[in-house]
Amino acid sequence: MFVHQVSRPHGEPLAEHFQFVQRPLEPLGERAAWVENVHFSVDPYMRECMDGDWELNEPLEGRTIGRVIRSNTPALQPGDWVFHRKGWRTFAQVEADEVRVLAPVAGVPLRAWLSVLGGTGLTAWVALTKIARLQPGESVYISSAAGGVGSAAAQFAALLGAKRIVGSTRNAEKSRTLTDRLGYTDAFVYQSGKVSAQLRDIIPEGIDVYLDNVGGEQLEAAIAAFKDYGRAALIGAVAQYSALTPPSAPYNLFDVVGKSLTLQGFLVRDYKHLQEELEEFIIPHIQSGRVVPQDTVTYGFDHIVEAFLSMLKGGNIGKAIVSIE
C-alpha cells in the first residue's frame, strides 16, 4: 500500500489531498531487497514538499525504518534493520546504496534513529554546535520547543553546558512538559503580538543563541532579545508554510547590524558526515538516561495522513512517528 498526494493544498493541507493506493509488488531487482517498513517519520518539511517537490499521484518520500524480508544482494540480509527514505508505503524495494543498515544498540530504542539519532537529532546537533556554536554558560531560546527538533535541542544544550534554555510553545500543558521532561529551564505559551515582551520578561538579560523553527514573530522577538554577537540557526518556518499571504519581514532586521548578529540557515542533508559524531556523543547519554528520546507514536499505517496533519497543528510532543508494531 502506498500514499499518493493527489492535489496541491491552498493553505492548510487536508486529508483530501492524499489517497491510499493498493498496488501489487513488482519483481525484485537483481541487486535489490524488499523491506517491510515499520517506523515512519512525518516532518514539518513535508508541508513544503506538497507545494511542488512531491509529484502528484506518485509514492511519497520520507525517513523510514524497516526490516529486510527478502534480498538479492549479499549487502542486505533478511532480518537486517535499515534506514531509508522510501516512506509512505508498507513495502519498499531498495538497493544497498539507498539504505543504512542499523546495528541495534543496547538501551537505545530503534525509533531513536528517527528522533534524537535521526535527521531530527542531527538538525539539533548541527544547529547548536556548527551553526550557532553554543558555548558553556550561554543562554539559548528555542521556538516550537516541544517538537522533534526542539525536544532534542534542549537536551543537547544542557549537555553542552547552556546556562538558560528557554522554549516557547502553544499551550500550557506543553509548557509544563518543557520544564518537567525536556530539559528547559524556562518556558512560556506564546501570544500573538506579545512574544517580544514575553521573552524579555523571562530572560531580561538577553539571549546568546536562537534556534528558529517557526520564523515570523518569534524570529523578531529573538532579534530584540539578542545580546551583541548573538547567533541564530534558522531551521524552519512552520508558521508560514501554509500561509495564504507572504509573511512580513521582522521590523527590527537592522538590529542584526547594530548588534553584530549572525543569522544562518542550513539544510541538514549537507551535514550527513556528522552522523557518527552525533551518535558517539549522544548514545552513552541515552544509555545512562540523561537523554530520553521523545516521540509521539501513532499506530497503524492507515493513520499516517492523520498523524502528519496533526503534527502540523502541534499535536505531538517530540518526534512524530507512525509505527505498525
* Rg, C-alpha atoms of the chain: 20
Each residue's pLDDT tens digit, 95-114: 999 999 999 999 999 999 99
pLDDT of 241: 64
Burial of 77 (0-12, 13-18, 19+ CB in 10 A): exposed
pLDDT of 243: 61
Q: Which of 199, 148, 156, 124 is nearest to 317 (CA)?
A: 148
Partners of 115 in beta bridges? none
- DSSP alpha helix (H) spans, the chain: 45-48, 119-126, 148-159, 172-180, 195-202, 217-225, 255-258, 275-288, 304-312
User: Is the model's pLDDT at 248 over the cut of 80?
Assistant: no
The pLDDT-based confidence of 171 (bands split at 50, 70, 90) is very high
| Strand arrangement of the beta sheet that strand 186-189 belongs to | 186-189, 164-169, 139-142, 207-212, 226-234, 262-265
User: Is the model's pLDDT at 325 over the cut of 90?
Assistant: no
The answer to which of 85-94, 138-147, 217-226, 242-251 has the lowest mean pLDDT is 242-251
Helices 195-202 and 217-225: angle between axes, nearest 10 degrees: 40
Residues 6+ apart with CB under 8 A from 267: none
The pLDDT-based confidence of 245 (bands split at 50, 70, 90) is low
Q: Strand, coil or helix: what is 27? A: coil
Each residue's pLDDT tens digit, 191-200: 999 999 999 9
- CATH number of the domain at 119-269, please? 3.40.50.720
Task: Give the count of beta carbons closer than 10 Å to the beta carbon of residue 284.
Answer: 13
pLDDT of 240: 65
Each residue's pLDDT tens digit, 17-58: 999 999 899 999 999 999 999 999 999 999 999 999 999 999
- Identical topology for domains 2-115+293-323 and 119-269: no
Provide mean pLDDT across the span 244-249.
Answer: 70
Distances (CA, A) of 14 to 44, 210, 233, 236: 14, 31, 30, 21
- DSSP alpha helix (H) spans, 203-300: 217-225, 255-258, 275-288
Pair 234, 212: CB distance under 8 Å = yes
Question: Cell for 280?
Answer: 558517539
pLDDT of 73: 97
Mean pLDDT of the chain: 95
Partners of 10 in beta bridges? none
The pLDDT-based confidence of 237 (bands split at 50, 70, 90) is confident
Residues 6+ apart with CB under 8 A from 24: none
Each residue's pLDDT tens digit, 53-72: 999 999 999 999 999 999 99
What pTM value is reported for the model? 0.93
Domain ranges of the chain: 2-115+293-323, 119-269
The pLDDT-based confidence of 158 (bands split at 50, 70, 90) is very high
Domain spanning 2-115+293-323, CATH architecture: Alpha-Beta Complex (3.90)
Chain mean position to CA 234: 13
Pairing of strands 164-169, 186-189: parallel
Q: What percentage of the chain reaches a pLDDT higher than 90? A: 93
Pairing of strands 207-212, 64-71: unpaired
Q: Which amino acid is at 13?
A: P
Provide mean pLDDT across the span 66-83.
Answer: 97
Distances (CA, A) of 56 to 8, 52, 94, 140, 291: 8, 9, 22, 40, 39
Question: Cell for 297?
Answer: 507514536
- DSSP alpha helix (H) spans, 203-266: 217-225, 255-258
The pLDDT-based confidence of 236 (bands split at 50, 70, 90) is confident
